[in-house]
Each structure stands twice: as structure tokens, then as C-alpha cells.
Amino acid sequence: MTMIGWLQIILFCVIIVATTKPLGWYMTRVFNGERTFLSPVLRPIEAGIYWISGVDERREQHWLTYTVSMLLFHIGGFLIIYGVMRLQAMLPFNPAGQSAVAEDLSFNTAISFITNTNWQNYGGESTVSYLVQMLGLTHQNFLSAATGIALAVALIRGFSRASMRTIGNFWVDVTRTTLYVLLPICVVYCLFLVSQGMPQTLGDYVEATTLEGAKQTIAVGPVATQVAIKMLGTNGGGFFNANAAHPFENPTALSNLVQMLSIFLIGAALTNVFGRMVCNQRQGWAILAVMGVLFVAGVTVTYWAESNGTSTLQALGLTGGNMEGKEVRFGIVASSLFAVVTTAASCGAVNAMHDSFTALGGMIPLINMQLGEIIIGGVGAGLYGMLLFVILAIFVAGLMVGRTPEYVGKKIEAREVKMAMLAILVLPLMYLGWTAVGVVYPAAVASMANAGPHGFTEVLYAYTSSTGNNGSAFAGLTGNTLFYNLTLASAMFVGRFFMIIPAMAIAGSLAGKKTHPPSAGTFPTTGGLFVGLVIGVILIIGGLTFFPALALGPIVEHLAMNAGNVF
Amino acid sequence: MLREIRPAIVLSLVLTAITGLAYPLAMTAISGVIFPEQAQGSLIEKDGKVIGSALIGQEFKSDKYFHGRPSATPAPDPNDSTKTVSAPYNAANSGGSNLGPTSKALADRLKEDVDKLKAENPNVAVPVDLVTTSGSGLDPDISPEAAQFQVPRVAKARNISEDQLRQLVASNTQGRLFGLLGEPRVNVLALNLALDSASAK
């Protein structure tokens, strides 16, 4: 670890804290339907979209209608991706002549993109056409991100409203998020990425003759438009197989910093939106503080572990940290920071191969996802995931003092706690259950690339990442098999929607409740005690759930490595 | 609920057209005007022919050139499409080795490469990036130490003085951005092009 490394980490944190408030202010105006500086241009387009699709923007929806609208919207998204992938050979924008994608891989990819996971069983430049990249993947990057944000806003409305039956209009929330938040940022962001060297072209793959006379086919394409939203929307599915490690997908140290910032940008700002909507910004800062403490702890461990390297490297006298699977332009610190950022948020883009990380360095991304990706988290999904933990923490605090728990003026009762528990328990059931199957079923075992405990971790990582809708991988695992295409798709589906539906039920139930002004007996939820309590609840629930699995994977691998064992 | 069907279909299609077609196509056109070189892939031409991209590493095997990092990119096996063969710096199929910290295959490969490099230049410690594969398999850069490490070999093969080469490496070294971001590095293709033109004089 070096001073200059820590300065890069500190710079990252400072910029995120600095952007939280202004973006939170802007986004709150967007979600409240107020005028913004972009309204003169975008308002006519917005109104036109409502007119043509028959949406009455003043009509609000009950939580069930809101949720059903969201599900219907996803069926549409699924069909578009699946269709375009299966038919890509007959459709335009296919200069590399890619043939139709197989049924199971198309199914997996379609589920993967509508659930904001973007697990890459497809090979980017070697599997899909430009049309799939644009119409299938780029479009769903926008819409699954917009959906996550809309759902988080709906849950916030549950807290901020009193005695109401409705929580907003899904169609309006998705449209406004896409038009006013995601698209404008992406337009500017995309141009920045191209300036750094990211291709944006519909031309053929380039045939080059290298200095030594060999032939090199260089894959290009409309990369920048997809990468902009892939990061901003915490989607993470790469244009190229190697994702953000590919020099075209992340050309410079500056593009790397901005990509990491854009992963956290909206998720961090949503904590401020929460604070503003419940009329106390300190509530938002308290949540951001919980996230910040867990984040910095994770960065420290991964940076330390990767700087130390492995015993194999040390035995050969190789110093300078674990550079296997990392790019020179990023080095140890920017690769470690990226790995923690991408898994704390539910992004899943990678700028280094997590499979080649040290045992402990790779364990932190795994833990980040197993905690439910609530450290900033996916856009929207991180906030509603964190609020579920907050409800539990408040419930625990209420039990300790024997009072009905309250949070931002709402009484937290049996229904909310049950729903929060349901969402929190379904996730480990998916990733632990499927991992158990994956390590005994012969066809699944054959997919492991590494032997020993590392092979186990590859499988655990795959199901954790897909259940958490992250999408990063220990990519040695051959995921493009019938078994993995189907089981990973089921994990992604359950991980997304069994979190969303209870969260929306809570939103509906909270919106209907009265708001109570704080009294002398109310537990203050803006101070250090609250922050500590939430962190404690997250670590205890998380730790009890997955510690045994970690002991079998990264922990035993670390001990084996120190004992000089290889597999 | 039935009245949500129409927005589900129409809004899906409209937003798909905006985000999946209008946005990428418009940005392609704008990028092509403002940043034409970058948008095409930062291609380098020599005598009218494309010799590569400034951002994409390529394989160098000759002693007369500086070498990049090992690359783990595969290509489909021409004899059996279900298998892959090693194809270093395959810029149409990026990827890393994905070998873990306790992998025997990785330990063996590292040992073999370290031994080879030690035989080439026994006086200096082997830089770690010269024996580890990159995440993309297309890393265009090596560390300045990795470039300096290769100076004796290249000097011998080209019959130029080591001092001259060390200066060339230094002038092709990019520092951290603002003295802070990223790592110091040398673009191998740029260095080798500079080397060719220096030798031609």
C-alpha cells in the first residue's frame, strides 16, 4: 500500500460525497414532477410519450398496480432482448456476421439484463451483433436502471406520505428517470469516454498487420454509448468479453476514475433524495454513513491483500503485488478500488479479473454482494435493500427498549418486519442452495476452472453475483452451459423480484399510515448510535448466513496458500 | 389493471427506440464528427496500412522489439470448434487467465517465465507485470521497470547502445495523470515504433 494509492481512494470518496447533495436536489425535483433546467427541451418529448402510450400522468397507482406495471414492462423488455438475440443473423448492424444465439444463452442473457444483473455468459465481441448491443443491451441498461430508481422512489414515498393509498405512477417515474436523469448524463459521459479513446462506430472489425507481420483482428463497435449507461445504471454487462479491463472499454486512468464515480453517483445521491423527501436530509446522510463505513473497510482489506500478492509470487521474488489479471495502467490500487466499488454497488463491471485476486482480496467482493449490495448498491435497489435492513435495525432497537419502533415518523409493525425478513432471507436461500447443487452435480462441477477451494468459490461467487443482480464473475467458471444458463437465470429472477415485491408491499403499507411527530421516547435515527446499530445488524445477519460458506472457500484457500499448497 | 397493458406495450417500444436506437446512432454520428480518430479505435497507419491500435497491445516475439505482457486470450480451435487454443493478443476475443492464487498451473507458468527472463537478464529483479497476464489479454502497456529490464536484449539484437535505448524508454514513459491517477507506464507499440524510426536513422 502506498500514499499515492490512498490519495486516489480518498479523492474518489471526496468526489462522491460532494456530488451527493446537488444531484440529490436535482433528482428530487425530477421525481416530484417539478420544473428543471432541462424541461424546455424534454417536457414536450415527455408529454408526447404519455400521449402516445395512453398514460395519464396525474393518475397515481396503488402499490399492487405499480408492481404489476413494473412486471408487465419487464415482460416487454425480455421479449425484445430474446427476439433480437435469436434473430440477429437476419437483422442489420451485424458486420462480424454473428449467427443466432442459442436458446438457453438468449434466455439467460434476457433475464440477466431485465434484472439489472448483466451476467456475461455471452462473449461480447465474439457472440453478439451491434444491433443486440444497442437495441437489446443498451436499451435494457437504461430501463432496468430506471426501474430500480422508480421502485426506490416509490418506497421513499411510502415513508414520506401519510394516510394515502397510492405511491406514484410507475410509467411516469420510469419515463422521467430515463429522460431527465439517465439520458442527459449519458450524452455528456459518452462524449467524454470517446475523447479518452473509446470507440463509437458501426464499422467492421479492423484488420491490422502488426509490426511483426502477424494478422490482428481488432473488434470495435458502438462501445461508448453502452459503457456510459452500463456504469451509470450499475448494469455492468460489458461490450467486450473482458469488460472494463479491455483497453477500448476503459482506455485511461481518468476514464477509470470517472467510471468508478459513475457507478456510485446515482446510488449515493438517492440517499439524499430520501432525506429530502422525508424532510430531514440528515436521515439520508446517516444512511450514507452506514454505507461509507462498510465501503472503506472493504477497500482497505482488498487493497492490502492485493498489495501483498500471493505466496507463489513471493517465492519467485516477484514484488509489486498480485498483477495476474490486472492491467498496468490501473495497477494494484485502481484495480482493488474498482473491485470493491463494482460489488458494493450492484454494477458487476470489472477492470481486473476477480478470479485471479488473492483469496482475501476476492472475498471482499463476495461479502459485498452477500450483504445484499446495500453499500450504495444498484441504482435504487441499493437504497430499498438498505431500508429493509434499517427496518430490521429499528425493530431490534424497539425490542431492546420495549417500544413500538418508529422510523422517520412511521410506526414499524409486524407486516413491515415480516416483509423485510422475507426479502432478506430469500437471497441466501438462492445462492447457498444453488451452490450446494453446483458443487455436487457432475455437469456443474466440470465447469470449474480452478481446482481446490478456489473452484468452490467460483461457484459460490456465480450464484451470489446472480442472486444479488451484480453480474461480476470469477470468470474462469464456464457459465455458458445449459445447467448454468438456467439455474443462474432463476437466481437472478428470484434475487430481483423477491426483493422488489416485499419492498413494494412495505411501501404500500407505510403510505397508508399516519405520520407521528418525534417525541422524547423516539429513537433518533440520524446519529452515530443509529449508524452503529444498522452496521451491527447488517454484519450479524450477513455473517451468520454466509460465514460457513466463506470458511469453505476463500478462508481455507488463504490458509492453504500460506502453507504453500497449490491445487 | 387492464389499462396498464397499453403503456406496457407502447411505452416499452417508444423508450426502446429512444434508448436503443436514437441515442446510440445519434452519439455515433456526433462522436464521429468531434473525435473521429478515437471513435474509430485510435488506429495507427504506416504506409497506408493499419498496423494496429494505439490502445490495443500486440504480440512481439522478436528479440529486436520490446515485448508486452503475456496474454491469455484464446481462439476457437480450428480442428474442434468446442475447444479453444491459445492465441495471444487476440483482439477479437478478450479475456484473462482466470487462474487463482493457489493454482498449480499458474505457479508452473510463472516459474517457467521467471527462469527464462532471469537467464536473459540475471542482474535485475524480474518485474511482476512481465510474467503475469493482464485482465484483457490486450494490455498495451508495461511498467517502466519492465521496459528497462529488456534493454540489454534489445540493445544486443539491434547493436545500439544501452544508454540510447534507456533514453528512448524514458521519453516514451507516461507518468501518472496529474501526478496522481493510474500508474507510470510505457506503451509497447509506441516504443517499438519509436525504436524502428530511431534505428532507421
> Could you tell me what percent of chain A has a pLDDT over 70?
100
pLDDT digits (tens, 9 = 90+) for A515-553: 988 888 788 899 999 999 999 999 998 878 899 999 999
pLDDT of residue A427: 87
SS3 content of chain B, % helix, strand, coil (to 5): 50, 15, 40
Short-list A280, A288, A231, CA closest to A255: A231
In this structure, what is the dihedral angle of CA atoms A369, A375, A380, A381, given to the nearest 10 degrees? 30
CB pair distance less than 8 Å for A191 and B3? no
CA–CA distance, B157 with B160 (Å, rounded to integer): 8
pLDDT of residue B201: 67
Average pLDDT over residues B29-33: 96
CA–CA distance, B2 with A565 (Å, rounded to integer): 62
Coil, strand or helix at A175: helix
pLDDT digits (tens, 9 = 90+) for A103-127: 999 999 999 988 888 888 888 888 8
Q: Please check whether residue A224 is in contact with residue A193, taking contact to mean a CB–CB distance below 8 angstroms.
A: yes
User: Between the CA of residue B39 and those of A186, A223, A227, B43, what are the distances in Å?
Assistant: 16, 9, 14, 10
CB pair distance less than 8 Å for A325 and B132? yes
pLDDT digits (tens, 9 = 90+) for A286-342: 999 999 999 999 999 999 999 999 999 999 999 999 999 999 999 999 999 999 999
CA–CA distance, A553 with A355 (Å, rounded to integer): 12
Confidence of residue A266 (pLDDT cuts 50, 70, 90): very high
Indicate if the alpha-carbon torsion angle A51, A53, A54, A60 is positive or negative: negative
Average pLDDT over residues A245-264: 96
Set of cell numbers at residue A349? 463491471
In a mutational test of the B interface, the residue from A328, A447, A458, A556 whose CB has the highest number of chain B CBs within 10 Å is: A328
Short-list A304, A557, A539, CA closest to A452: A557
Q: B residues 129-188 near A, CB within 8 Å?
A: 129, 131-143, 176-177, 180-183, 185
pLDDT of residue B199: 83
pLDDT digits (tens, 9 = 90+) for B171-193: 999 999 998 999 999 999 999 99
CA–CA distance, A53 with B8 (Å, rounded to integer): 8
Short-list B85, B89, B32, CA closest to B60: B89
Contacts of residue A80 in chain B, CB cutoff 8 Å?
A: 12, 16
Please enumerate in sequence order all residues whose Cβ is within 8 A of that of A399, keeping only pairs 6 or more positions apart, or say none: none
SS (H, E, C) B123-163: CCCCCHHHCCCCCCCCCCEECHHHHHHHHHHHHHHHCCCHH
Which helix (H) or strand (E) covers residue B75, if one does?
A: strand B74-77
pLDDT above 90: residue A136: no
pLDDT digits (tens, 9 = 90+) for A344-357: 998 999 999 999 99
Name the residue with higher pLDDT: B15 or A520: B15
Instruction: Provide the 8-state DSSP code for A90.
Output: G
**Distance between A358 CA and the closest CA of chain B, angstroms:** 5
SS (H, E, C) A514-530: CCCCCCCCCCCCCCHHH
CA–CA distance, A182 with B145 (Å, rounded to integer): 42
Confidence of residue B1 (pLDDT cuts 50, 70, 90): low
CB pair distance less than 8 Å for B100 and A220? no
Coil, strand or helix at A228: helix
CA–CA distance, A132 with A86 (Å, rounded to integer): 10
Instruction: Give A343-393 as a DSSP string.
Output: HHTT----SS-GGGS-HHHHHHHHHHHHTTSTTTTSTTHHHHHHHHHHHHH
The pTM of the full predicted model, rounded to 2 decimals, is 0.95
CA–CA distance, A30 with A36 (Å, rounded to integer): 7
**Distance between A270 CA and the closest CA of chain B, angstroms:** 23
Average pLDDT over residues A83-96: 90
Which helix (H) or strand (E) covers residue A406, if one does?
A: strand A406-407
Interface contacts A/B by beta carbons within 8 Å: 384
Set of cell numbers at residue B201? 536513422
Please enumerate in sequence order all residues whose Cβ is within 8 A of that of A197, keeping only pairs 6 or more positions apart, or say none: A247, A248, A251, A252, A255, B38, B42, B54, B55
CA–CA distance, B200 with A73 (Å, rounded to integer): 63
Short-list B188, B58, B100, B9, CA closest to A455: B100
Which helix (H) or strand (E) covers residue B52, if one does?
A: strand B49-53
Coil, strand or helix at B184: coil
pLDDT of residue A142: 93
CA–CA distance, B23 with B30 (Å, rounded to integer): 11
pLDDT of residue B122: 92
**Distance between A116 CA and the closest CA of chain B, angstroms:** 16
For residue A46, the one-letter residue type is E
Contacts of residue A49 in chain B, CB cutoff 8 Å?
A: 11, 14-15
pLDDT digits (tens, 9 = 90+) for B56-98: 999 999 999 999 999 999 988 888 877 889 999 999 999 999 9
Q: What is the ipTM of this complex?
A: 0.95
In a mutational test of the A interface, the residue from B11, B40, B65 whose CB has the highest number of chain A CBs within 10 Å is: B11
Contacts of residue B102 in chain A, CB cutoff 8 Å?
A: 310, 312, 359, 450, 452-454, 557, 560-561, 565-567
User: Between the CA of residue B128 and those of A318, A566, B94, B113, B192, what are the distances in Å?
Assistant: 5, 19, 21, 11, 21
Phi/psi of residue A230, nearest 5 degrees: -60, -35
pLDDT of residue B80: 80
> Could you tell me what percent of chain A has a pLDDT over 90?
79
